Amino acid sequence: MKHLMILLWPAVWLVLGTDAPVLADDIADAHSRMIRTVKAMAQITPIAGKKHPISIKVLAAMGQVKRHKFVPRVRRSLAYENRPLPIGHGQTISQPYMVALMTDLLELEKGDTVFEMGTGSGYQAAVLAALGVRVQTVEIIKDLADEAKARLRELNYSHVTVRWADGYYGDPENAPFDGIIITAAASHIPPPLIAQLKPGGRMIIPVGPKFMAQQLVLVSKASDGKVTTRRLLPVAFVPVTRTRKP
Ligand code: SAH
C-alpha cells in the first residue's frame, strides 16, 4: 500500500495539484515569506543607482492584503511567490516586489486620492486602500473590471471605485490626484494624466515599447506645476491597449 501511494503520488498531485485546499497556517506562512522576499529584493535592486528599502507602512499594507484572493483558483498555491501570475484575458497580476516598489514611490499619506490605470485583479488597488488612501481605478477589459469590482466589494475595500474605461483619459471628475499609477506599459506618458496630477503629486509609469523592457518612470509635479521625470529601472509590463485614438 505504501509503495502504491509513493507510485501514485505524482498522479494524485497532478489531479489535485495547485487546486488542492491549502491550510490557513500555510497561507499565513507563505504570506510572511513573501513580505521577507520583497524586503530582500529591495536590498539587491538598485533604483536609479541607489538602494531603495520599502517603507514599513507599505510592507504592512502588503501584509494585510490576501493575494490569494486575487489570483485564479488554479494558481492559488503560487499566490505568495514573488512573481507575476496570469489572471486571464492575457493579463497578469504584477510581481509583489513591483507592487511594493511602485506603491512606495508614490509617497502617499492617509486620506490621499490615487488614480490607477489598469485594475486587473484589483490587488494593487487593495494594497493602496490598505494604506488608507482612496482609489479610483479603471480597467479596459470589461470582464476583469466586473470581476475586480465584485472581488473588492466582497473583501470590503469600500475606498476603491472600479470603472470599466480607457484609463488614458484619467478621471477628470475626481481629479486632481495626489498619486497616479499606471500598471501597464505605455508608449508615452498620457498628457491627460499629467494634467490630473496635483501640484506636489507623483505618478509612476512603465514607459517603453510593447513586449520589450520598459523603464519605470517617476513623474513629479512641483508645487509651481513644473513637471520632471526620472527613469528608475528596467521593467516588463503587459502593454496598455486603447479603445480609440486620443
Ligand atoms: N494592477 C493590476 C495588474 C494589471 S495588468 C493588478 O494588481 O492585478 C495591466 C492591466 O491594465 C490589464 O488588466 C489591462 O487590461 C489593463 N489596461 C491596459 N490598457 C488599459 C487602458 N488603456 N485603460 C485601462 N486599463 C488598461
SS3 173: coil
76 within domain boundaries = yes
Distance CA 213, CA 234 (A): 6
For residue 9, the CA-to-ligand 1 centroid distance in Å is: 39
pTM of the model: 0.91
For residue 92, the CA-to-ligand 1 centroid distance in Å is: 8
pLDDT digits (tens, 9 = 90+) for 185-208: 999 999 999 999 999 999 999 999
Number of domains in the chain: 1
170 within domain boundaries = yes
243 within domain boundaries = no
Atom of ligand 1 nearest to the CA of 126: 7
pLDDT digits (tens, 9 = 90+) for 97-138: 999 999 999 999 999 999 999 999 999 999 999 999 999 999
242 within domain boundaries = no
Tell me the catalytic residues.
94
> Domain of 200: which CATH number?
3.40.50.150
Pocket of ligand 1 (CB under 6 A): 91-94, 117-118, 120-121, 123-124, 138-141, 144, 166-168, 183-184, 238, 240-242
pLDDT of res. 19? 45
Nearest Cα to Cα of residue 128 among 80, 51, 183: 183
For residue 210, the CA-to-ligand 1 centroid distance in Å is: 14
109 within domain boundaries = yes
Atom of ligand 1 nearest to the CA of 123: 7
Cα distances from 36 to residues 43, 46, 47, 168, 246, in angstroms, run 11, 18, 19, 35, 42
pLDDT over 50 (residue 93): yes
Tell me which residue range forms the domain holding 95: 2-235
55 within domain boundaries = yes
241 within domain boundaries = no
DSSP 98-156: HHHHHHHHT---TT-EEEEE--TTSHHHHHHHHTT-EEEEEESSHHHHHHHHHHHHHTT
pLDDT of res. 211? 80
CB neighbour class for 10 (10 Å; exposed up to 12, middle 13-18, buried from 19): exposed
DSSP 134-148: EEEEEESSHHHHHHH
